[in-house]
Amino acid sequence: MNLKKWIAVPLILLMVALTGCQAVGGFDVSKNLLGTLDVKSQQSTEKISFKLTPREGIKQDDQKIIDLINSVSVTVDEAKVQSEELASAKGTLHIDKYNFPFELALDHQGLAIQLEGAKKPYYIHLNSEESLKGLPAGFDPNLYSKDIRELTKTAMALVLKHAPNPSTISATSVTEEVYGEKDKVKLTHLHAELRGDELVALVKPFLTNLAKDEAGLKELIGQAIDLTQNIASGMNIEGSDKAAAELNTNKEKLVNDAYTEVKKYLDLAVAQYDTGVSTLYAQSPEIKTVLSANTVLKSDIYFDEKGNARKSSANLTVALPDVEGIPVKSFSILTETQAWNINGSVTADKIDISSGVVDLNKQAELTPGATLRNFEVNSPIYNILKNELKITKVETTYDPKDDYTVLENRKGTAFIPLRELTSELNSETKWDASSKSVTIVDDITGKTLKLKSGSKQAKLEGSTLMLRQAPYADQYGTLYVPFKTVAEALGATVTRNSDGKYVLKRD
Per-residue pLDDT of the chain (507 residues; tens, 9 = 90+): 333 333 344 444 444 444 445 556 678 878 888 888 888 999 999 999 999 999 998 999 899 889 989 999 999 999 999 998 899 999 999 988 889 999 999 998 899 999 999 999 999 988 655 555 555 555 666 677 788 888 988 998 898 888 888 899 999 999 999 887 888 999 999 999 999 999 999 999 999 999 999 999 999 999 998 888 777 776 655 556 666 677 677 888 999 999 999 999 999 999 999 999 999 999 999 999 999 999 999 999 999 999 999 999 999 999 999 888 889 999 999 999 999 999 999 999 999 999 999 998 887 778 999 999 999 999 988 988 898 889 999 999 999 887 777 899 998 899 999 999 999 999 999 988 887 889 999 999 889 999 999 999 999 998 999 998 999 998 888 899 999 999 999 999 999 998 889 999 998
Adjacent-strand bridge partners of 53 = 330
What local confidence, expressed as pLDDT, does residue 137 receive? 56
Q: Are both 366 and 475 inside the same structural domain?
A: no
- pLDDT at position 234: 65
CA 248 to chain centre: 38
Q: Which of 19, 376, 363, 420 is nearest to 191 (CA)?
A: 19
Contact 496, 388 (CB under 8 A): no
348 in any annotated domain: no
The reported pLDDT for the residue numbered 131 is 54
Whole-number pLDDT of residue 4: 35
**Quick one: 276 and 237 in the same domain?**
yes
Write out pLDDT tens, residues 210-269.
999 999 999 999 999 888 877 777 665 555 666 667 767 788 899 999 999 999 999 999
Residue 269 and residue 333 in one domain:
yes
371 plus 330 within the same structural domain:
no
Does residue 232 share a domain with residue 204?
A: yes
Across the strands, what pairs with 140?
Answer: none
Does the residue 76 lie in any domain? Answer: yes
Which residues are bridge partners to 409 per DSSP? 414
| pLDDT given at position 2 | 34
Query: Which DSSP category does 127 fall into?
Result: S
Judging by DSSP bridges, how do beta strands 122-125 and 358-359 pair with one another?
Answer: parallel
Please give the torsion angle defined by the CA atoms of residues 292, 295, 300 and 306, in that order, rounded to the nearest 10 degrees: -70
Residue 240 in domain: yes
Model-level pTM greater than 0.95? no
- Within a domain: residue 354? no
Does residue 125 sit in the same domain as residue 247? yes
For residues 381 and 422, state if they share a domain: no
- pLDDT recorded at residue 12: 42
User: Buried b vs exposed e over 137-157: b needs ≥16 C-beta within 10 Å?
Assistant: eeeeeeeeeebeeebeebebb
The CATH number of whichever domain residue 500 belongs to comes to 3.30.457.10
Query: How far apart, in whole angstroms, are the C-alpha atoms of residue 13 and residue 11?
Result: 5
Helix then strand count (H, E) for the chain reads 13, 24
Judgement on whether residues 16 and 106 belong to the same structural domain of the protein: yes
Residues in a beta bridge with 89: 79, 104
272 and 328 co-located in one domain: yes
* 407 shares a domain with 383: no
Q: Is residue 435 in a domain?
A: yes
Q: Which amino acid is at 87?
A: A
Cβ-based neighbours of 25, under 8 Å, separated by 6 or more: 170, 171, 172
311 & 399 share domain: no
Residue 14 confidence (pLDDT): 46
Report d(CA 86, CA 109) in Å as an integer.
10
Judge if 223 and 249 occupy the same domain. yes
Residue 79 lies in domain: 3-340
Residue 347 lies in a domain: no
Query: By the 8 A CB rule, do 421 and 483 touch?
Result: yes
Count how many domains the chain has.
3
Cα gap 12→17, rounded to integer Å: 10
Q: Would you say residue 111 lies in a domain?
A: yes
Q: Which long-range contacts (CB under 8 A, 24 or more apart) does 397-403 make?
A: 397/497, 397/501, 397/502, 397/503, 397/504, 398/501, 398/502, 398/503, 398/504, 399/499, 399/500, 399/501, 399/502, 400/500, 400/501, 400/502, 401/500
